[in-house]
Structure 1
Amino acid sequence: MTGNPDGPAMMLAHGFGCDQNMWRLVVPALAEHFRVILFDHVGAGRSDRSAWRPERHARLDGYAEDVLEICRELGLRELTLVGHSVSAMIGVLAAVREPERFARLVLLTPSPRYVDDVGYRGGFSRADIDELLESLDANYLGWSAALAPVIMGTPERPELGEELANSFCRTDPTIAKAFARTTFLSDNREDLAEVTVPTLVVECAADAIAPRGIGAFVADRVPGSTLVTLDATGHCPQLSAPEATAAAILDFALAGAR
């Protein structure tokens, strides 16, 4: 925990293949106003690998329960949860399960379903996802090196893609493979309508993982939510556009806190 000890609580939940270090460029701005809680999902960063349970973590509900356990342990209420990528849906599930703990949600580059469906564009065919998962199973390190620059979407700044690839490599490969399957095959579209707390949806103008249109889909289905489109590329704007990302989060969170 870091930041303003007298401020309201804000939890930052990272996406697949990342860890809490991915937030470092936005934390200083957020910490001026909030008590910022950072953590690593099981298998990532400095988490306790022994806490991973194949059955529990085969569904995003298991990760949502992990988030709620942290909230209970720290006695967190009136919390602003910022969920990046798959953690956006983890945050949705947590807020639906225990809405009294949450004051606001920020869904950063969310996708409720990555696989295309009738009348829905998730950005990937089922064959695309199957190929991605097969490649990951066959050569996790090679997969990480190849996909990280695509996810980051900043070819003019290759160091960011390298950083993400290194983050992938720090993640426990067995857990990462299972988490990838859980992430890319989940469908949380029906859960969006169950959210009852004020919600901000933040998308990037160009994102290979969560293409334009998904943000609007999410915002249309979360009651009373707001959509912001950052003038940024890639799936990790907290690294590629930290100032704009922090500003969007603060504009929403501080307005709600007043």
Structure 2
Amino acid sequence: MPFVYSTRPTPPAPVAVRGSLTERHHVLRRNHVQVLGAGAGKPTLLLCHGFGCNQHIWGYLVPALVTRYQLVLFDHVGAGESDAQAYDPQKYATLDGYARDVVEICQALELRQVIGMGHSVGAMITMLAAVQAPAYFAKLIMLAPSPCYLNEPDYYGGFEREDVQQLLELMRTDYHGWASMFAGLLMGPANPAALGEELAQYFCQMNAALAQEFARVTLLADSRAALSQVSVPVLLVQCQQDAVAPAEVGAYLLAHLPHAQLVTLAATGHCPHLSAPLETLAVVEAFLAGKGAERTLTA
């Protein structure tokens, strides 16, 4: 079964935000925002999950992180315990709509100097939020990110457009079969089958129709033009074998983000926070402590 937090959530404090009190509460309910480990002087770490998951995907990292950071967790609209009625096809037709949600969460909690940590497309959503509203962010940690999954004449993303269309068609015709297959692809053959099963459970908990739309937006997105606009330090964390975000993608991000460093873990698969949580924690802590300034590292 998916990990469940052992730490009791702290209700978000009543703070001011642009707009009415009702609007602030709407933001917090819409994305099922949870604050863990709130405390004076603790830096804030905002965790942005990837496609098909929800905030509980961070469960293997939470117990260690919550002792040193205020954690802000949330679900993308359509995932977890978010308000599915808030889904707007026009707003969420691009990743910018999801990024606006992240900015609104920062506004609703009156956050500043946030460390944004995202996984996969969640990493790109967090990056786009930092481009939209840089005043809220101090650093970014991007786990297995990809700005574009499609192969282009001058870019290798890992997927041909026909592959993506077939994947989306399988989601439409056999969602549960797709969930099992795609979870196995993401975790990779070297990791325990139980991790793939856990990931597939997350997929199956999501509203299938909204998952299909989110998948389409994710797999066809191209955020490369925004990379040069990122003004904060970035840690890129990549696995040495990742079928979804191959090494070429990490190298591209390292070359095009103005203030980035890349760590390649010895882990495999697309979900290091599941398959290698201790190694992931180690490189995250080193980055936040100002260590590991090399452009490329191996953990």
Normalised to the residue count of structure 1, the TM-score between the two structures is 0.96
Matched, 1:212 2:251: no
Give the match for residue 135 of structure 2.
100
Question: How many angstroms does 1:224 deviate by?
Answer: 1.8
Matched, 1:178 2:213: yes
Higher Cα Rg, which structure: 2
Matched, 1:23 2:61: no
Quick one: distance in 1 between partners of 2:206 and 2:190?
23
Quick one: distance in 2 between partners of 1:208 and 1:248?
22
Quick one: distance in 2 between partners of 1:218 and 1:146?
28
Letter of the structure 1 residue corresponding to residue 148 of structure 2: R
**Runs of 4 or more consecutive aligned structure 1 residues displaced over 4 Å after TM superposition:** none
Q: What does 1:47-62 align with in structure 2 at a 5 Å threshold?
A: 47-62=82-97
Quick one: distance in 2 between partners of 1:253 and 1:2?
19
Quick one: distance in 2 between partners of 1:236 and 1:245?
10
Select the residue among 33, 36, 40 that pairs with 2:75: 40
Give the match for residue 3 of structure 1.
37
Q: Which has the higher helix share?
A: 1
Question: How many angstroms does 1:57 deviate by?
Answer: 0.6
Quick one: distance in 2 between partners of 1:86 and 1:156?
21
Contact 1:9/1:35 (CA < 8 Å) preserved in 2? yes
Post-superposition CA distance 1:44-73 (Å, at most 9, x none): 111111111111011000000011111110
Letter of the structure 2 residue corresponding to residue 5 of structure 1: G
Post-superposition CA distance 1:15-63 (Å, at most 9, x none): 0011111111111221121101111111111111111111101100000
Question: How many angstroms does 1:253 deviate by?
Answer: 1.8
Unmatched segments (≥5 aa) in structure 2: 1-34, 292-299
Structure with higher RCO (Cα < 8 A, 6+ apart): 1
Quick one: distance in 2 between partners of 1:152 and 1:250?
24
Give the match for residue 154 of structure 2.
119
Q: What does 1:116-155 align with in structure 2 at a 5 Å threshold?
A: 116-155=151-190
Letter of the structure 2 residue corresponding to residue 149 of structure 1: G
Question: How many angstroms does 1:139 deviate by?
Answer: 1.4
Give the match for residue 195 of structure 1.
230
Letter of the structure 2 residue corresponding to residue 77 of structure 1: R
Give the match for residue 13 of structure 2.
none
Normalised to the residue count of structure 2, the TM-score between the two structures is 0.83
Contact 2:191/2:268 (CA < 8 Å) preserved in 1? no
Contact 2:190/2:268 (CA < 8 Å) preserved in 1? no
What is the Cα-based RMSD across aligned positions, in Å? Answer: 1.2
Quick one: distance in 1 between partners of 2:117 and 2:228?
18
Contact 1:4/1:32 (CA < 8 Å) preserved in 2? no
Of all paired residues, the percent bearing the same amino acid is 48
| More off after superposition, 150-159 vs 77-86 | 150-159
Report the secondary structure of 1:213's partner residue: helix
Unmatched segments (≥5 aa) in structure 1: none
Quick one: distance in 2 between partners of 1:94 and 1:61?
8
Matched, 1:223 2:258: yes
Quick one: distance in 2 between partners of 1:170 and 1:155?
25
